Amino acid sequence: MTVKRITLITFIAVSILVLALMLPHCTCETPDPARAPGVALGHQPAPSLLELALGRDQYVGSPSITLLPDGAYIASHDVFGRGSSQDTSGITKIYRSTDRGNHWTQTAVLDGQFWSTVFAHNGALFVFGYAHRSGNIVIRKSLDGGFTWTTPDNDTTGLLRTGTFGGTSNCPVIHEGRLWIAQSTRLMSAPVNADLLRADSWTLSKGVSQDTHWLDGNFTFWSEGQVAASPKEGVVVLPKINQLPYTAILRAESPAGLSFNPELDFAALPGAEKKFGAVYDPVSERFYICSNPVLPTHKDDWRYGSRPAMIRNAAALLSSADLHHWRVEQFFLYSPDMHHEAFQYFNFVIDGDDLAVVSRTAFKIGGHKPPRGHDSNLMTFHRILNFREAAPLHELKIDGSQVVRHEQTQHERMPLGVFAPESPYDGKPLDRPAALAQDDAGDVYIREKGGRTLKFDAAGNFLEAVTHGPAAPFSESLFNVRQPARGSCSWTGVVSRAWDEPANWYYWGRPDTPGETALFGSAGDVQEPVTIERIYQVKGLRFQTLSGVSVAGHGSLIINAGDSEGVIDVVRGGHALQLPLLLFSTTRLRIASGAGLVVEASLDLGGQTLILDGPESPAIDGPFKMGGGTVAATAGCPVRLGTPSRATLDGTLEVLVSEGRPAIPGDRYQVLEFPQPLTNRFRTVKLPDLPAGLEWDTAMLYAQGTITVRQAAG
């Protein structure tokens, strides 16, 4: 075979291979950035498979945005990837909008600028970052709104540090006379009136040592920190935690040092296994974050299930008053294609009542599609209107034999799972749902084709079967479904059995503050114990499912209602607390007729009052301590001590008698119940007043648990 023929055959084979690679990867359309949600202001065409194979791929990275005093927006992004100059001299592009983000103009391309943050300060515009990946720290200044920039040639013109450095865009803050910016998981700061182009104006803090034993041995590393500051919390750095939905609160002790308490300052934060954006809002006095929580429907994905840091197809706004307890306010972007589309690395600023957000976005816009969601071909702009009042827009829809929930976003509807599955309700499974309605209180009604109507709360917990529905009309879909009342947190158990995992609670609403009550109803899977491995403070517990719920683990629960009254409410079913329970507030325990609660671990009143409100009594089978507190038992609803030898009665027994007929001699009330007589004695027994001429006989209180009305002596 001749060389010419071999060459021809080789050429044909390679051509066929290239076509085979390219055809399924390319829609053969001209890329159109306008097809992406939001406003596209930076575009780097997605690579072909041949470009990928040759290492020529380039992507959009490091989105950043700031607001100028004249109302103009300035945004930036860099270009990364094997085909870029990221390792020698980074490229950053600058954009400007004078109509609040609707239209953008590119104003500059900066050579030698990478992983950068744009910000306005003292009448000038700055861009802070690195000369290239793992390069020198540099800063540039513009006095004409981003068209021309200084060059960081030396330590007086913007070359701040030489060496190996890295970080990501964040939002610099002013606090106690200094400007602070995150440098990965460290801080750089300078006096507010200093010349920011001078290296000697800046102080670089030391970092915090990391320990892989943290988070039960699941911690690997943190990176890509975000700076934030408030009058109460001071200056903090919030990094992502690799592959875990947590952040850490690294506190600035001084410009040169950070501190971290691993026992107190890890915080569960949905989506924080990826880089997120963060700001503090002085109006609401809350911190806000844009992140990428992993939806339960995507947690077992074949490609990324073990690497949640790569799942970036849903974008959410979260807030917190104290950096430890975060709530999801709403999802504002979603794509069902988690393998090729993503919204990530958010950076945003407050503009009045709105948030102006830029995203590093991977999206199929025609032409070659992004190889992965990570591989962004766009920077897009998005606006979150009235962010302080942000709330999810949910809809319910009948889907065959069940009812499903979705959330409306600025792009696709986002699936939130089943609202009402084919489970038994009032003794019968859900049968051919036909129509839906919601009343003014937020409760949802499902009418079956057979005529039965079932009532649920807004989280999907069954309440009762009703004969009449609400005045609102029934339809096959419900839009703008009202949400559960703030503070009611419903267990779903869709991810695991762990209380600690926010995704196990309706809309990531894990109960962990004195204003929140944990609710266990039909919306949750309770076939196995709900486990707690830490200490949680909640206002109360509510059990309203016939399926027995067990709460267990090596942690503990504290009932702390602040200035109000805690509550443990057992509506139906038999349930068990298999971990220590401690009261920090007066707590009312109500058990409906036919329901039950067993306290198998220790119950410590902690000097507080426990009111047994009947009509059933809990079984206290574990150690019982009062600590000077009070147990108030309604006559006929006795204190049931399963193991009297483990009861320390160092407090007050208060007996309550329901109003009714007047007491007469011989009336007997069961106020204690135990398998053998008590050897301990209450410090005080407080009994209700009796009419003149009558008195209480407590002789059998510790032998049989009864008290009797008798004629007063004399």
Query: Are 103 and 96 spatial neighbours (Cβ–Cβ below 8 Å)?
Result: no
Q: What tokens were used for 232?
A: 């109460």
Which pLDDT value is given to residue 526? 81
- Residue 694 CA neighbour count, 13 Å, CB half: 16
303, 400: one domain:
no
Q: How many domains in the chain? A: 3
Domain boundary among 389, 414, 438: 389
613, 666: one domain:
yes
Q: What is the DSSP string of 476-533?
A: SEEEEEPPPPTTEEEB--SS-SBTT-GGGBGGG----STT-EEEESTTS--SS-EE--
Report the distance separating Cα 131 and Cα 470, nearest Å: 64
Q: What CATH number corresponds to the domain at position 58?
A: 2.120.10.10
Residue 401 lies in a domain: yes
Which pLDDT value is given to residue 652? 97
304, 452: one domain:
no
DSSP-derived secondary structure letter, 368 = B
127, 228: one domain:
yes
Domain boundary among 431, 457, 481: 481
DSSP-derived secondary structure letter, 25 = G
Report the distance separating Cα 45 and Cα 639, nearest Å: 72
Residue 2 lies in a domain: no
Please state the φ and ψ torsions of residue 297, each to the nearest 5 degrees: -65, -15
Domain boundary among 389, 413, 428: 389
Residue 100 lies in a domain: yes
209, 349: one domain:
yes
Nearest in space to 595 (alpha carbons), one of 637, 641, 557: 637
Q: Tens digits of per-residue pLDDT, 70-121?
A: 999 999 999 999 999 999 999 999 999 999 999 999 999 999 999 999 999 9
184, 315: one domain:
yes
Residue 205 lies in a domain: yes
333, 193: one domain:
yes
Nearest in space to 702 (alpha carbons), one of 658, 659, 638: 638
Residue 574 lies in a domain: no
Query: Are 345 and 339 spatial neighbours (Cβ–Cβ below 8 Å)?
Result: no
Report the distance separating Cα 329 and Cα 291, nearest Å: 11
183, 309: one domain:
yes
180, 199: one domain:
yes
Task: Point out the residues of the chain with pLDDT beneath 50.
Answer: 13-14, 16-24
Q: Tens digits of per-residue pLDDT, 633-680?
A: 987 889 999 999 899 999 999 998 877 778 899 999 999 999 999 998
Residue 89 lies in a domain: yes
325, 273: one domain:
yes
Which pLDDT value is given to residue 40? 98
344, 402: one domain:
no
Nearest in space to 618 (alpha carbons), one of 541, 699, 503: 541
Report the distance separating Cα 620 and Cα 108, nearest Å: 72
* Non-local CB neighbours of 505 within 8 Å, separated by 6+ positions: 489, 490, 491, 492, 511
Residue 327 lies in a domain: yes
* Cα–Cα distances in angstroms (integers) from residue 623 to residues 363, 618, 641, 645, in the given order: 59, 14, 9, 8
* Cα–Cα distances in angstroms (integers) from residue 81 to residues 77, 87, 121, 377, 448, in the given order: 13, 9, 31, 11, 55
Q: To which H or E segment does residue 680 belong? A: none
Report the distance separating Cα 258 and Cα 240, nearest Å: 16
Residue 165 lies in a domain: yes
445, 421: one domain:
yes
Sign of CA dihedral 293, 297, 299, 302: negative
Residue type at 74?
Answer: I
Report the distance separating Cα 348 and Cα 331, nearest Å: 15
Residue 237 belongs to what domain range?
Answer: 39-389
Nearest in space to 181 (alpha carbons), one of 247, 121, 107, 109: 121
